[in-house]
Amino acid sequence: MESGFPSRDTYLRHFNPRGFLEKYYNFGSRHSVENQILRHLLTNLFKIFFPGGAEGDQVDIGSGPNIYQLLSVCLDFTQAHQGKSTMQELEKWLKKEPGTFDQSPMVTYVCDLEGNRVKGLGKEGKLRQVVTQVMKHDVTQSQALSGVPLSPADCLLSTLCLQAASLDLLACHAALRSLRSLLKPGGFLVLGDALKSSYNTVFEQRFSIFSLAPEAVEAATKEAGYTIEQFEVISQSYSSTTSDNEGLFSLVGQKPGRSE
């Protein structure tokens, strides 16, 4: 079944957090496209954050019911605030509830990248310690965290969110400006997403989405007031049953000014 550009509520109504984790983040098949992309994401975040590339308070926006995006930052950040629209599955993992999705293969992979300075259970414990808040969010609003009081952060991380949340280029610009308001002067924005995708599939439901080209990402980031410190594009794409993307990008931008 195919739909036009979905509203946030429509998207969430068709989104199954547990099924999403099992399809894209289980490390079950070492040769699947999804796991190749996941390994790239984990390795890229490791290169950006390790060792000690940034520290302080960090906010994660829109990355779904995942922990992978925080694994390389949790040892160097004092707090992590996650703005999640799929909160229940994540909170189950944080509380170590029975039947929680097993994220340990990803944790082990990142520990290996880091030279095992901290073992898996120690890293999981540290991450549970630094995630101090899980909040609803909407990057299409001028206040992405719906007015929840939160001090500006040293780093903001958002993976595989920007394209799905943006109905057009103007919405993409607005989302980046909204995220900028959450950063301290001198703070860093870390983005990762698919490129040139016209649809994605949430199980049986296929949604049309805004096709985002690399030139548009760079232009929108600069227009929103960031200095681009790093921009990388890879050719890896998802299977056609999931998306028709043409590669993925990672970006590190900095808000002007000096961090306190």
CA dihedral of 218, 223, 225, 228, whole degrees rounded to 10: 20
Token couple for 253: 């931008």
Contact (Cβ atoms closer than 8 angstroms) between residue 155 and residue 58: yes
Q: What residues contact 81, with CB distance under 8 A and at least 6 apart?
A: 57, 58, 59, 60, 131, 132, 133, 134, 135, 150, 153
- Of 100-109, 129-138, 248-257, which gets the smallest average pLDDT? 129-138
- Of 10-19, 51-60, 146-155, 162-171, which gets the smallest average pLDDT? 51-60
Q: What is the pLDDT of residues 162-213, one digit of tens each?
A: 777 777 788 888 888 888 888 999 999 999 998 998 887 766 667 778 888 9
Q: What is the pLDDT of residues 235-253, one digit of tens each?
A: 988 888 888 899 999 999 9
Is the pLDDT at 7 greater than 60? The verdict is no
Is the pLDDT at 4 greater than 70? The verdict is no
Predicted confidence band of residue 257 (pLDDT cuts 50, 70, 90):
confident
- Ordered by start, the domain boundaries in the chain are 2-254
Mean pLDDT computed over 110-115 = 90
Fold (topology level) of 2-254: Rossmann fold (3.40.50)
How far is the CA of 101 from the CAs of 82, 90, 105, in angstroms?
Answer: 18, 9, 11
